[in-house]
Amino acid sequence: MEAVREVDGRAIPFGAKNVDTDVIIPAHWLKTITRDGLGQGAFETLRKDPDNLFDSAEFTGSPILIAGDNFGCGSSREHAAWALLDLGIKAVIAPSFSDIFSGNAFKNGILTVVLPQEAVDRLLEVARTEPVHIDLENQVVTTPFQDRFPFEIDPFRKHCLLNGLDEVGLTLSRDSAITDYENNARAALPWLSKGVEAA
């Protein structure tokens, strides 16, 4: 995973609430068996409108997306994160995110920044004409107008993002702890460690 320290550039002032993952990437795009090329399908329904923000000269290729409450609700499809990445989006700012989406975004190096609605409203206004800067190290979003919005982020996620760490690799290094757990569980809850056999 690529390390992320800061994201800087134009931010798409999208602002919609309850944007579900069917809107981010419709189901017919889920038939791929790779992670690439999903940017074409990103926000497909909205982009049928010739005046949509995503394809406007000003916002094409913008690294930041600003959205409303509950961004990424609905289906668990990680294709939503892959589609955003393929579209060039490296950070999403919103008042709240669905739990599954924010996990998927994090695992793909997309920074999800939670800010209060007032801050998001202000950024939506600024973003129409000016770039937005996200500094992960110092946990702050700034604008050329001296706006300064600090944000919270889980320390572990921050550490992984800053260093581009592979979570599977990190967990595999805890193999002995997992084996200890399995041995204890086999004694305490024996039926749970008996699964199925491959046919």
Member of 152, 156, 162, 164 binding another protein (CB under 8 A): 156
Q: Does 89 bind another protein (CB under 8 A)?
A: no
> Measured from the CB of residue 128, what is the shortest distance to another protein in angstroms?
18
Pairwise CA distance, residues 192 & 144, whole Å: 56
Pairwise CA distance, residues 156 & 44, whole Å: 34
Taking alpha carbons only, the member of 52, 63, 69 closest to residue 7 is: 63
Q: Does 162 bind another protein (CB under 8 A)?
A: no
Per the CB < 8 A criterion, the answer to whether 127 and 66 are in contact is yes
> Measured from the CB of residue 44, what is the shortest distance to another protein in angstroms?
8
Per the CB < 8 A criterion, the answer to whether 74 and 63 are in contact is no
* Cβ proximity to another protein, 56 vs 177, nearer residue: 177
Count the Cβ atoms, other than its own, within 10 Å of residue 53. 19
> Measured from the CB of residue 172, what is the shortest distance to another protein in angstroms?
6
Question: Which residues in 42-61 contact another protein (CB under 8 A)?
Answer: 45
With CB under 8 A as the contact rule, which of the stretches 5-13, 19-27, 56-64, 134-142 interacts with another protein?
Answer: 19-27
- Here the contacts of 38-46 (C-beta below 8 Å, separation 24 or greater) are 38/79, 38/82, 38/83, 38/86, 39/83, 39/85, 39/86, 39/87, 39/88, 40/86, 41/83, 42/83, 42/84, 42/86, 42/87
> Binding mask 97-126 vs another protein (x if CB under 8 A, - otherwise)?
-xxx--xx--xx------------------
Would you call 86 helix, strand, or coil by DSSP? helix
> Measured from the CB of residue 60, what is the shortest distance to another protein in angstroms?
23
Pairwise CA distance, residues 49 & 163, whole Å: 39
Member of 144, 182, 183, 186 binding another protein (CB under 8 A): 182
Member of 23, 83, 87, 161 binding another protein (CB under 8 A): 23
Q: Does 2 bind another protein (CB under 8 A)?
A: no
| Token representation of residue 127 | 């973003």
Q: Which residues bind another protein (CB under 8 A)?
A: 16-18, 20, 22-23, 26-28, 30-35, 45, 68-70, 73-78, 81, 96, 98-100, 103-104, 107-108, 154-156, 167-168, 171-172, 174, 177-178, 180-182, 184-185, 188-199
